[in-house]
Amino acid sequence: MPKRRPRSSSRAKQRPAARRTRRGSASWLRWAVSRTLVLSLVSFLAYVVYLDITIRNRFEGERWPVPAHVYTRPLELYQGLRLDRTRLVGELDELGYRRRDRAEQTGSYALGKDRVDVYARPFVFWDTPRAAQRFTVSFEAGRVRGLAGRGGQLGLVRLEPRLFGSVSPARHEDRHLVSLDRVPKHLIAALLAVEDRQFFQHHGIDPRGLARALWANLTAGEVVQGGSTVTQQLVKNFYLNAERTVRRKLVEMLMATLLEIHYEKREILEAYVNEVYLGQAGHRAIHGFGLGSVFYFGRPLAELNLPETAMLVGLVKGPSHYHPRRHPQRARQRRDLVLAQMLELGLIDESAAQRATRATLGVAEAGAQPATAYPAFLDFVRLQLRRDYRERDLRAEGLRVFTTLDPLVQQVAETAVRTRLAALERARQLAPGQLEAAAVVVRRDSGEVVALVGGRQPGFAGFNRALDARRPVGSLIKPAVYLAALEQPRRFTLATLLEDTPLRVEQRGSPAWTPSNYDRRFHGPTPLIHALARSYNVATARLGLEVGVDRVIGVLRRLGVDRELQPLPSLLLGAVDMAPVEVAQLYLTLAGNGFRTPLRSISSVLSQAEQPLARYPLSVEQVVEPGPMALLDYALQEVVRTGTGRTLTRRLNGGVPVSGKTGTTDDFRDSWFAGYAGDYLTVVWVGRDDNQPTGLSGAAGAMTIWTEIMDRLDLQASATPRPADIEQVLIDLETGGLADTGCRDAVLLPFIAGSAPSRPAPCAAAPAASKVRGRLRNWIKRLFDRP
Amino acid sequence: MTRCLIPLLVLAMFTGCATGPRAPTLERGGPPVIDRSQPPPAAVPRVDGRTPPPTAPESSPGAKRRLPAGVESPPPPVSVLAKPAVINLARAADQASAEGRYATAASSLERALRIEPHNASLWHKLARVRYQQAQYDQAVQLASKANTLTRQSLLRTANWQLIADAYDRLGDEGKARAARAQALDR
């Protein structure tokens, strides 16, 4: 374009044009220069506007994606709770409470003889916030004897729940957002003393600081000082990449100035406090002093003392170089430097500085804050969260998810799985590590899952057998068959004689089905209660066929089985694959007295701003009438009294009744036990990942883990009264007839009113004289029978 | 033209200042609020033409509504044999309930049930809370659960009465009548 003009004018007037051209080219140059200047100014200003928009968008929008944080249940302390001093101290240590001579600060406790003084931190629960609270817990015989506060006896106190995981992608930034007023004053003082002394005076750039850094770098011959203000550092971390070029430095300064124009110092400082990078834990980047405090000290930021805050501030310069766990010496030197600078500026006095310098680093153990303490339980929480929340919300909105996980029970279950599997392998001469197991522990009446073990290495987030190992359930399905029968009291009672004799069912398109018993024998006529308690396959198959497979499927549906079920006879003996959690859902309805309630792992969800978002309340639905339920429960207790579970000899908590069922699949590939007692239902599976036989029956494998877990829980004997329509009748089990005192093997059995047999048993029907003879004969026989 | 462009841009640059610094927010387009304690949206058709009582919002203390006799009578007290913690929580729930803070009341009762899961009067109280929240199906279920846990006639009568009232609200006259008969039977 500049060339065309002179050419066209030269064509019009040749001669006077030469002078004019000279003059014209000069003015054109001026014109071009001014245009270029204007253009570059315009583009510069446009760039500034662009930067300005970038800054504000990020600063005012969603600044940081914060993953959903997941908490355990809060420990409720009350008189009578089964909890000893050691366990309470364990819980307090896990919460990062510090042991002191006197509990005078929030987040601390003091030990006395049979008591613990606690100064609990404030916490916002879903239903109500709790202020910081001082109280004393006293113990007696493994239980809480009393709970005293400042104003006398307390009814109960909730400790805050413990954070144990987050819902996040594999590689992610994690942080706990803190507002500036929750940041200790000495932390801000230390930070500004070291990083930016002129923070409250400058406008984003500190020319003096810059000059000082420049001089230091020139004299050292390398970059030794940054000279960046806190605002510049924030801009660099927040908006820019890590490259070190002059251009990037200029952009950084420009943005810092813009940030200072728009926002107050407080806001910039708050953003910095939350943005700053403080370390790496695997794929998880630790950002902000809020998480930094928890990560390094296991305690909230507000509770850090002077040397601890000085160490955190010292980390800003190089989190890996000054890593307190890997390089404690360097971390300590850096901390002392921070303290020295604070002293130099008069922010602390000589004695405080000396005390702080003498203090140890006080860093919590490396494993204190793993990304996830209970990966198997977290899997289950994620599964339930995904039903209600978008993946994006879970990863970015900083939700606070309160779960039903009870770490004390989880600990018990993990230990039981680990120790029992090792013992089983030793006893059976199996290669160590061959056996695997899964366990689910649920509150019986509310469906709250309190513990979930996905394998023998619970800390390892791998294959979660509790959720994903779908295995044939075998005899665990039998209660559904018997319930379907007992729901027809006119046809079936606990005393009904079932035929345990060879059975052959022709099936179209597949070979005939010929079930056999576990002991490879047939037992002839067997009372229904024994057929279930002793887990006779053939009697059960006959019963199921008589009741109808469809009816059994109907019962399974009511009990809470969701998966597709094939209406085949083999279903009656458990030829259906289920994961331990599904079995837990099925047995939960039995444990809940015929009331179905969904398994729950979440109790409530709060937003980042601690506003309630979701609540998952207790809900129940009666799906089994009390009468048949009582009969089935009686039979399930018989399993443990005299049936396949009779080796469960250990009396739980002084004789709490146990109802349960063993399950053993073909060639001993799967060993199951599902049972409930007191307040809990527990389901255990033992087997091998390669699905090879283990040689373990349900009782020999899974039940031993089950007992180990349940024996350590606080099982309160449930006092479910007998339903009004249940009557107790004396029965001769051999014949299923009415018995009287003349019958030797008579037992009291529950019946739905009107369903008890009216026909007397031969032992009871005999005339008076022969009865006396019979009684005498029995008495003599018993005498000789005695061992 | 260029001369007026510069101040325009400078002006544009500082427009942010005119509005003043806005409080940063993290709540934009946030996750949904879920209340699983609310009844399903499909309302049960009513046959008696009466309108069900409106559900009082959680934050309306002292909300008074006319309730049928069974629910108006004070709830049977929790047994003195209960743990002090349970008595405390039950009392707190009664208080919250009287002030119309039903979600809080339910939450206290659930806490109490974790301590004494087989305490029938806690289940009964929870049933009443659900009734007051117009969750009549849950009221029936929870009162039935309470009935399976007690033989105490006073509590059983209160449960059957509550079940009858809830069936009334659900418009199931037959079941309401049957439940009332059970209540009178004791």
In this structure, the answer to whether residues A641 and A748 fall within a common structural domain is: no
Q: Are A648 and A677 in contact (CB under 8 A)?
A: no
**Gap from A495 CA to chain B (nearest CA, Å):** 24
Of A38, A443, A622, the CB nearest to B117: A443
Nearest to B149 among A79, A397, A720 (CB): A720
Indicate whether A472 and A448 sit together in one domain.
yes
Is B179 among the domain residues? yes
Secondary element (H or E) of residue B77 = none
Contact A274, A290 (CB under 8 A): yes
Whether residues A549 and A601 share a domain: the answer is: yes
Is A393 within the bounds of a domain?
no
CB pairs under 8 A between A and B: 166
Residue with tokens 């039977």: B185
Range 47-66 of A in CB contact (< 8 A) with B: 48-49, 52, 56, 59-63, 66
Residue type at position A608: Q
3-state secondary structure A135-156: EEEEEECCEEEEEEECCEECCE
Across the interface, of A62, A79, A615, the residue whose CB is closest to B36 is A615
Q: What is the mean pLDDT of residues B159-186?
A: 93
Assess if residue A379 is contained within a domain. no
Inform me whether the C-beta atom of residue A615 falls under 8 Å from chain B C-beta atoms: yes
* Best A73, A264, A265, A618 residue to mutate vs chain B (most B CBs within 10 Å): A618
Q: ∠ CA A251-A253-A257 to the nearest 5 degrees? A: 115
Give the residue numbers spanning the domain of B108.
Answer: 77-185
Task: Catalogue the E-assigned strands of A92-245.
Answer: 98-99, 108-112, 115-120, 123-124, 129-130, 133-140, 143-149, 152-153, 156-158, 163-167, 172-174
Q: How many CB atoms lie within 10 A of CB B91?
A: 15
Q: Which pTM was predicted?
A: 0.83
Instruction: State the alpha helices, DSSP H only, in A429-469.
Output: 465-468
Query: Within the 139-158 window of chain A, which residues sit less than 8 Å (CB to CB) from chain B?
Result: 153, 155-156
Task: Quick: pLDDT tens for A536-586.
Answer: 999 999 999 999 999 999 999 999 999 999 999 999 999 999 999 999 999
Question: Residue B171 pLDDT > 50, yes or no?
Answer: yes
In terms of domains, do A291 and A333 share one?
yes
Asked whether residue A487 is assigned to any structural domain, the reply reads yes
In a mutational test of the A interface, the residue from B36, B78, B135 whose CB has the highest number of chain A CBs within 10 Å is B36
Using left for φ > 0, alpha for ψ between -120 and 50, and beta otherwise, residue A140 falls in beta
* In a domain? residue B118: yes
pLDDT at A393: 84
CATH of the domain at A448: 3.40.710.10
Shared domain check, A271 and A299: yes
| Residue among B13, B110, B114 minimizing CB distance to A48 | B13
Could you say which of A49, A127, A626 has the minimum Cβ distance to residue B104? Answer: A127
B34/A262 touch (CB, cutoff 8 Å), yes or no: no
Ranges of chain A whose pLDDT falls below 50: 1-13, 367-368, 786-787
- Interface predicted TM-score of the whole assembly (ipTM), two decimals: 0.83
Best of B5, B6, B34, B123 to substitute, by most chain A Cβ atoms within 10 angstroms, is: B34
> What's the pLDDT score for residue A424?
94
Nearest CA in chain A to B120: A720
Q: How far apart are CA B52 and CA B134, in angstroms?
A: 8
Q: Which helix (H) or strand (E) holds B123?
A: helix B120-132
Dihedrals φ, ψ of A240, to 5°? -115, 170
Looking at the fold, whether A152 and A185 belong to one and the same domain comes out as no
- Closest among A712, A667, A657 to A691, alpha carbons compared: A667
Task: Give the CA dihedral A332, A336, A342, A343, nearest 10 degrees.
Answer: 160
Catalytic site residue from A195, A436, A582, A638: A195
Closest CA to A656 of A711, A604, A581: A711
A262/B contact by beta carbon, under 8 A: yes
User: Which CATH number covers residue A100?
Assistant: 3.30.2060.10
More confident residue, A648 or B157: B157
Q: Is A621 on the interface with B (CB under 8 A)?
A: yes
Task: Note the pLDDT of residue B17.
Answer: 38
Domain membership of residue B96 (yes or no) is: yes
The per-residue pLDDT for A8 is 44
Examine residue B92 and state whether it is found in any structural domain, yes or no. yes
Domain tally, chain B? 1
- Please tell me the total count of domains within chain A: 5
| pLDDT tens, position by position, A152-184 | 888 899 999 999 988 877 678 888 889 999 899
Check residue A228 and give its pLDDT. 86
Q: Measured over all CA atoms, what is the biggest interatomic distance in chain A, rounded to whole angstroms? A: 159
Question: Is there a contact between A743 and A485 (Cβ–Cβ < 8 Å)?
Answer: no
In eight-state DSSP terms, residue A180 is G
Same domain, A294 and A176: yes
Residue A721: enclosing H or E segment and its boundaries? none
Pairwise CA distance, residues A271 & A654, whole Å? 58
Instruction: Confirm whether A402 is domain-assigned.
Output: no
A436 and A300 housed in the same domain: no
> Is residue A376 in a domain?
no
**C-alpha distance from residue A148 to each of A115, A139, A143, A155, A688 (Å):** 11, 12, 15, 9, 50
Whether residue B158 is contained in a domain is answered as yes
Is residue A181 in a domain? yes
Tell which of A34, A41, A50, A619 to mutate to test the B interface (max B CBs under 10 Å): A619
- Among candidate residues A168, A475, A603, A755, the one labeled active-site is A475
- Backbone φ and ψ for B3, nearest 5 degrees, come out as -65, -35
- Give the whole-angstrom CA distance, residue A375 versus residue A470: 19
Q: Across the interface, do A79 and B83 touch by the CB < 8 Å criterion?
A: yes
CA distance A544 to A482: 8
Query: Going by DSSP bridges, is the β-strand pair A400-403/A577-578 parallel, antiparallel, or unpaired?
Result: unpaired
Q: Dihedral angle at the C-alpha atoms of A431, A433, A435, A437, nearest 10 degrees? A: 170
In a domain, A700, yes or no: yes
Whether residue A512 contacts residue A504, with contact meaning beta carbons closer than 8 Å, is answered with yes
Where are the alpha helices (H) located in A15-72, listed in sequence order?
A: 17-60
Q: Which residue in the set A59, A620, A721 is minimally distant from B150, CB to CB?
A: A721
At B6 the pLDDT is: 44
Question: Contact, A590 vs A551, CB < 8 A?
Answer: no
**A155 and A217 co-located in one domain:** no
Closest residue in A to B117 (Cα) is A445
- pLDDT value of position A742: 79
Same domain membership, residue A238 and residue A219: yes
A78 and A52 within one domain? no
pLDDT in tens, B56-67: 334 333 333 344
Active site residue A625: no
Is B60 a member of any domain?
Answer: no
Using an 8 Å CB-CB cutoff, list chain B residues near A395: none
Under an 8 A CB cutoff, do B113 and A622 touch? Answer: no
**Upper half-sphere CA count for residue A144 (Cβ side, 13 Å):** 27
C-beta atoms of B89 and A80 within 8 A? no
Mark yes or no for CB contact A609/B26 under 8 Å. Answer: yes
Residue A390 falls inside a structural domain: no
Owner of token pair 């392998």: A425
Nearest-CA distance A68 → chain B (Å): 11
Residues 6+ apart with CB under 8 A from A711: A650, A652, A653
- CA–CA separation, B133 vs A665, rounded Å? 48
Structural domain boundaries enclosing A37: 4-60
> In degrees rounded to 5, what are phi and psi of residue A227?
75, 5
Query: Domain boundary at A142, A165, A188, which?
Result: A165
Q: What are phi and psi of A416, to 5 degrees?
A: -60, -45
| A552/chain B closest Cα distance in angstroms | 24
| Domain shared by A462 and A519, yes or no | yes
CA distance to partner chain B, nearest, from residue A697 (Å): 33
Q: What is the largest CA-CA distance in chain B?
A: 96
A344 tagged catalytic: no
- Here the CATH number for the domain that contains residue B116 is 1.25.40.10
| Pairwise CB contact (< 8 Å): A720 & B10 | no
Give A393→chain B minimum CA distance, Å.
6
Give CA–CA dist A468/A580, Å, rounded: 8
